[in-house]
Structure 1
């Protein structure tokens, strides 16, 4: 990897001459005066290995540049060789006293310049390297700086060997410290470092952060299997702790990229699998970087998005299977971004769940749903229930029932017309906490729906334990093989729900065959593209007028009405 030398001279001929002398061994950057040189150095101090500096220049002379560099800790480490035509010891003494590393008189002697540059860069880098803390005190792995240096040396000296940079992250490590104590957390870090260092093919192992490690490993087939075995050995530290490791892999292609940047790219790959149950290893590619840049751009534009009216509530009808009449609606949200255009929830909801904006968006959608119900009441229209998704973050908030009830009262809306959808996976993560939250919501008059039933790993026992009112059966699992068995599952689940006095709404219904199956199972309600796509609220009103509203959508319709629960 060629190092960069900055040539600072107001004479263009001298700059070109030095560039030709150094071209075979170095990358040469140029500056025509001292001020331009300082701007270049401050922009990327780590990118310049040495400076060849003329003394007599306009704007800012060489002595002023030396003084400015010595005053800046980031620049003071860069060796400077002064070049001048001035004769006598005085110029050399002044330059050396201001921090110059060496002094050369013009005219240039190519071999002398090259040797002095090589020696001065080597001496400075060796001195800097000696000052690095080689080992992380806690784990015994290389320190971050030493690891980067070791990787750079290996990649430069073993060009014929293909390498991967792998970053390893302990998921929810803070929870380990909180639940088991810092001493156990420290022991786990030492165990992870030891297992990483002993893994086959690993040439260097470093600790990059509190619970993040990096390794340089020889490329091999079956890397994922190797990492899976590593995770098993790390998990053996204490099987009761259910330790989860995530890995990001950068396959080294361009060795001119600094190892620190390679680790950053591997870190981007890790972010793409955090929190996922189906993936523990990810490889970096440019699409991940583009996605991260896009998400950063989206996050930066959130400040005024709600106030500027960029979000819009859409409604998707829930219909009676036999008649097609509307019995309710699910509130969804679309983002009309000023530069990115119309964005679907699949693009921005996962991002909002990670950055915390989801709670604010939940509040917006709930308020919009209440406004719509208030509008129907004012216009004398038959009301129908509106379902609103509740994020996991909101579910754990102790003030959620009072906040939602406050919004409903502000608009004069009966809470019974507002259905709160909670995903099946949220139930499986912390059933006890979620059951408590659901109980408080029901005590305040809200109807609770279990959303996406059939897409996760919930047990049927959950249906008997959780105080829900509506079961939303996701029909997406009917779209692949083994349909005969899955039809039997649908019949069983619908029958069990009816025995438990739960209303069943089949969602994701796209074909007549699915609708006929549901009708044969005595499932009365459905939602999906077969009936209608999500639509703006005003268009939903026209849809209701066209197809009609079922009597089951009106009034309380819950147990008090004696007609079963509303969907």
Structure 2
């Protein structure tokens, strides 16, 4: 149960204070203060918990006006709405209270129905505004959220068709490292500094938003040139204010030349431009251009063709010879891969390997290379060639497969080979991501007989720490390291130290990238064991290597958005239903110009007005003394009709508490006692309009708060709320947690527009594959949840998970997209806590992903 809202009653008269407390205590938790000074003390203790203040004006020690001035000047308290209560019902008091910052005004003696109505309305307005702020503004920086930024850009471009604009975005290089080293508070401070810089630089010439952790973006009026000095200055300002130093910002610029594409795609192009210079020292900004577009199209073409290429055997194994340095004998080879495309010709690995590492396809390609290498070794053994060892690359993505040792062991046994014949090259950069899992996996591989090589030693900062912890057999020195170190005088380099360290650790050393005789002799002099490089041979097809093997033999060593609805044309209608013609004329003079004022002297005319222009009705000023009880007839008719139920109604009549209460109970939003000043009526009408609009926004906002804007499914908050209700029904249920495996890659490579389409596609598959009573939610950025009520059958729920995974995979293939999903499944008893259920589904999902993308796994104890 939600805790009651708190209301502070500030009233010096004990009887009045007690009366207000009795009226409010049934629905609210009431705090009391006898004057303004005491009220400030209460606010100091409870300010952030108070929903509204009921404030008397005339009080000793500190009166209401002084209290209002202090509260409204305090940033932490100024948002709390205040309803002023006073003995006088004069308009001057009301205007004075409102001018001091009061939200509303009620006169004494207190009428319970009126008090409760006004209090509920004001609290509703405040809470709706707060919820709108949460949806539209980033909590940490105060900038627009991504979705609201998109919406605002669309509106600006639509309103200004002849103005030119640019979209500029920024990324912080290695922001995760900043959080890890300096801590989350320092990271948050840095983000606020960047946001303040955006606001200051953009000013009133554009708008700013925050997309993700370190991604900021703005729409800015177009300028002809952007120089590095502009962004260097911005980076220097950020570094001068942040506790984390040496912050590197990368900026991307997209000039909006094509307004037919979506805003999402415009922003993606700016982000792609920023990413294109990531890691480039001295490069601060980049513009989206044809070259970047061509690169993106090329990557798309590579991705579209990669699976077919693997099936058709377009990937070929090349072998680079490895020589023993003491006698120049052929000692082994490194297996590399080339893509012989039927149209493009032979493709360099630098073109497709980094892309495959990002999209996850590298695991399938690695397994293909491993299998081809083993098959080649088996063929040569059968034909009587000298046995040799082959090194193969194990990518970072492969390490996360907990079944890797079993997979490799089964593969070498299938080909009748000893595990020692296959050397596994682990890059040292893999150690920085998940060292614990890497150490555990490599230790297991070494235990079953594989030879472990640390590849690219000397290219990163973690090598010595990795040497200390990782069980390895061979150090493979990085090519660039060899080329730089062998150029130094022999007594100044660190190669000797590395060789001494390797000897002490009983490791063999391989130097790659040897290009000339001088490098070879230098390595021979310091005692290096093996070399490979262009000085000896380039990578070659297996047939050519086979000829080399026949000629020389081998020496083997075994140690190895929905927008607001638009009205029809014509001004909004204000209906004045009143029997007094003079009063109707007064109202008409005040409101005419902004509204089309329609007069109705009786119930029949009022109903006819609803029939003619109800769709344009902005508000109704309704006399409670229409002839023949017509006013109640009109109110009842409006409450019955769905389209008119939300039109604000200001009831008017004589100063009569019973009549006022009757009007409010029948559905009126406010009551204006006659006689009254027309300016007061103007305020009441627009206050009622604000309240009605707020209710409509709240209805939509409620949907936004609990619904994912992109897929229309429940979001995390909505899911938690629904599951809380479900658990109260004490019924068993099954939970399936889905994860889209390649979403991050697709967003980074092809833009969030393409990623969003995938998410919407998965949402539609969930809807079409489930029953009406099932619970569907988008649980995270790339995670979805399906809850099947009253489900105990393990086979049935597994079949459902596989059906949805297969449907998604098939849909992606039809659209030429390389994506799949995995699923973790739990069958839960009614009494199991949801935290426990979701932890189990997460564990099951991890197991499913480890067994191969696209799999389903049922959690078992």
Instruction: Check whether the contact 1:389–1:422 (CA below 8 A) recurs between aligned residues.
Output: yes
Instruction: Check whether the contact 1:202–1:216 (CA below 8 A) recurs between aligned residues.
Output: no
Instruction: Identify which range, 508-517 or 253-262, moves more after superposition.
Output: 253-262
Instruction: Check whether the contact 1:193–1:205 (CA below 8 A) recurs between aligned residues.
Output: no
Q: Which of 337, 348, 370 matches 1:344?
A: 348
Q: CA deviation at 1:322?
A: 3.8
Q: Quick one: distance in 2 between partners of 1:401 and 1:172? A: 32
Instruction: Check whether the contact 1:165–1:215 (CA below 8 A) recurs between aligned residues.
Output: yes
Q: Which of 219, 226, 232 matches 1:225?
A: 232
Q: Which residue of 2 aligns with 1:167?
A: 169
Q: Quick one: distance in 2 between partners of 1:230 and 1:437? A: 45
Q: Quick one: distance in 1 between partners of 2:537 and 2:379? A: 22
Q: Which residue of 2 aligns with 1:387?
A: 391
Q: Which residue of 2 aligns with 1:545?
A: 550
Q: Which residue of 2 aligns with 1:353?
A: 357
Partner secondary structure for residue 456 of structure 1: coil
Q: TM-score, normalised by structure 2?
A: 0.43
Q: Quick one: distance in 1 between partners of 2:344 and 2:416? A: 36
Instruction: Check whether the contact 1:235–1:244 (CA below 8 A) recurs between aligned residues.
Output: no
1:530-541 aligned at under 5 Å gives the runs 530-541=535-546
1:63-82 aligned at under 5 Å gives the runs none
Q: Which of 185, 200, 204 matches 1:198?
A: 200
1:9-158 aligned at under 5 Å gives the runs 136-138=136-138, 140-142=142-144, 143-150=149-156, 156-157=162-163
Q: Which of 195, 212, 217 matches 1:214?
A: 217
2:445 corresponds to 1:441: yes
2:515 corresponds to 1:513: no
With over 3 angstroms needed to count, the CA separation of the structure-2 counterparts of 1:466 and 1:196, relative to structure 1, is same
2:325 corresponds to 1:318: no
With over 3 angstroms needed to count, the CA separation of the structure-2 counterparts of 1:336 and 1:186, relative to structure 1, is same
Instruction: Check whether the contact 1:170–1:243 (CA below 8 A) recurs between aligned residues.
Output: yes
Q: Quick one: distance in 2 between partners of 1:419 and 1:389? A: 9
Q: Which of 286, 289, 293 matches 2:297?
A: 293
With over 3 angstroms needed to count, the CA separation of the structure-2 counterparts of 1:277 and 1:377, relative to structure 1, is farther
Instruction: Check whether the contact 1:195–1:234 (CA below 8 A) recurs between aligned residues.
Output: no
Over residues 16-59 of structure 1, what are the superposed CA-to-partner deviations in whole Å (9 max), with x where a residue is unaligned? xxxxxxxxxxxxxxxxxxxxxxxxxxxxxxxxxxxxxxxxxxxx
Q: CA deviation at 1:386?
A: 0.6
Q: Which residue of 2 aligns with 1:525?
A: 530
With over 3 angstroms needed to count, the CA separation of the structure-2 counterparts of 1:437 and 1:155, relative to structure 1, is farther
Q: CA deviation at 1:254?
A: 4.8
Over residues 395-436 of structure 1, what are the superposed CA-to-partner deviations in whole Å (9 max), with x where a residue is unaligned? 122111111112112112111111110112222444333222
Q: Quick one: distance in 1 between partners of 2:173 and 2:268? A: 17
Q: Which residue of 1 aligns with 2:474?
A: 470
Q: Which residue of 1 aligns with 2:505?
A: 500
Q: Which of 338, 351, 366 matches 1:362?
A: 366
Q: Quick one: distance in 2 between partners of 1:155 and 1:478? A: 58
Q: Quick one: distance in 1 between partners of 2:240 and 2:198? A: 10
How many pairs does the alignment contain?
415
Q: Which residue of 1 aligns with 2:487?
A: 483
Instruction: Check whether the contact 2:412–2:419 (CA below 8 A) recurs between aligned residues.
Output: yes
Q: Quick one: distance in 1 between partners of 2:168 and 2:198? A: 10
Structure ID, larger Rg: 2
Instruction: Identify which range, 493-502 or 514-523, moves more after superposition.
Output: 493-502
Over residues 345-380 of structure 1, what are the superposed CA-to-partner deviations in whole Å (9 max), with x where a residue is unaligned? 111000101111000001101111111121122223
Partner secondary structure for residue 222 of structure 1: helix
Q: Quick one: distance in 2 between partners of 1:467 and 1:227? A: 46
1:265-304 aligned at under 5 Å gives the runs 265-273=269-277, 281-304=285-308
Q: Quick one: distance in 2 between partners of 1:470 and 1:279? A: 37
Instruction: Identify which range, 425-434 or 256-265, moves more after superposition.
Output: 256-265
With over 3 angstroms needed to count, the CA separation of the structure-2 counterparts of 1:233 and 1:288, relative to structure 1, is farther
Q: Which residue of 2 aligns with 1:247?
A: 251
Q: Quick one: distance in 2 between partners of 1:205 and 1:358? A: 40
2:403 corresponds to 1:396: no
Instruction: Check whether the contact 2:332–2:389 (CA below 8 A) recurs between aligned residues.
Output: yes
Q: Quick one: distance in 2 between partners of 1:133 and 1:267? A: 26
Instruction: Check whether the contact 1:136–1:207 (CA below 8 A) recurs between aligned residues.
Output: no
Q: TM-score, normalised by structure 1?
A: 0.64
Q: CA deviation at 1:278?
A: 9.0
With over 3 angstroms needed to count, the CA separation of the structure-2 counterparts of 1:473 and 1:278, relative to structure 1, is farther
Over residues 428-470 of structure 1, what are the superposed CA-to-partner deviations in whole Å (9 max), with x where a residue is unaligned? 4443332222212112211111111122223434323321110
Q: Which residue of 1 aligns with 2:726?
A: none
Instruction: Identify which range, 345-354 or 455-464, moves more after superposition.
Output: 455-464
Over residues 171-212 of structure 1, what are the superposed CA-to-partner deviations in whole Å (9 max), with x where a residue is unaligned? 8999999xxxx9999998777544422347783233374554
Partner secondary structure for residue 445 of structure 1: coil
